[in-house]
Amino acid sequence: MEILEGKIFDNLAQKSCQLAGTLFELTGKTKKGKGYSKAVELLKTGKALKKMKEIIKAQGGTINSSKKIKLSSKKIEILSKKSGKVERLDLTLLKDIARTAGAPVDPKAGLMLKIEEDDVIEKGQVLFEIHGENQRKLEIAKMLALKNNPVKLGGVVIEKII
């Protein structure tokens, strides 16, 4: 919601606009090469937020601002076991961890990523937080995360030889 409300424009927002832009181009809504800028325009003008509210209303949901959407204060931090470069995030596994913690049934359950692909991280750095109201579910989600490691690290390139 913060992206739709224009509060942040981060990596997720950029990727979302790239995807939306590609869809605009493939469906003929924009000319080739103009889709991304159209998606950004829809975000900045508030039209994307308006459409989201229409969809929520049509589905019988409650329209909230990002101020009302809060993660649980109960959380478990998952730390990196080693230093390296984030090569890949296993989104399927991250989704499974969030569901194990109680999402989407528990509206305060979910994940807060603290890193993204291509970040160089240190051993002991927080990779993500698991939030939820049920302590038992949090512990199970933690075990799932530690056993399966959804953050794939590679080595760090110190210097390129050309």
What distance in Å separates the CA atoms of residue 99 and residue 92, rounded to the nearest whole number? 11
Q: Which pLDDT tens digits describe the chain residue by residue (162 residues)?
A: 889 999 988 888 899 999 999 999 999 999 999 999 999 999 999 999 999 999 999 998 887 887 877 889 999 999 999 999 999 999 999 999 999 999 999 989 999 999 988 999 999 999 999 999 999 999 999 999 999 999 999 875 555 566
How large is the C-alpha radius of gyration of the chain?
19
Residue given tokens 């832009």 in the structure block: 21
> Is 72 within 8 Å of 133 (Cβ atoms)?
yes
Pick the CATH number of 70-154 from 3.30.300.180, 3.90.1170.30, 1.10.240.10, 3.30.70.20: 3.90.1170.30
DSSP string, 63-115: ---GGG----S-EEEEE-SS-EEEEEE-HHHHHHHHHHHTTTTSTT-EEEE--
Q: Note every long-range contact of 51-60, with CB atoms under 8 Å and residues 24 or more positions apart, other chains counting.
A: 52/1, 52/4
**Residues of each domain in the chain carrying CATH 3.90.1170.30:** 70-154
Look up residue 129 and give its two tokens.
């937080």
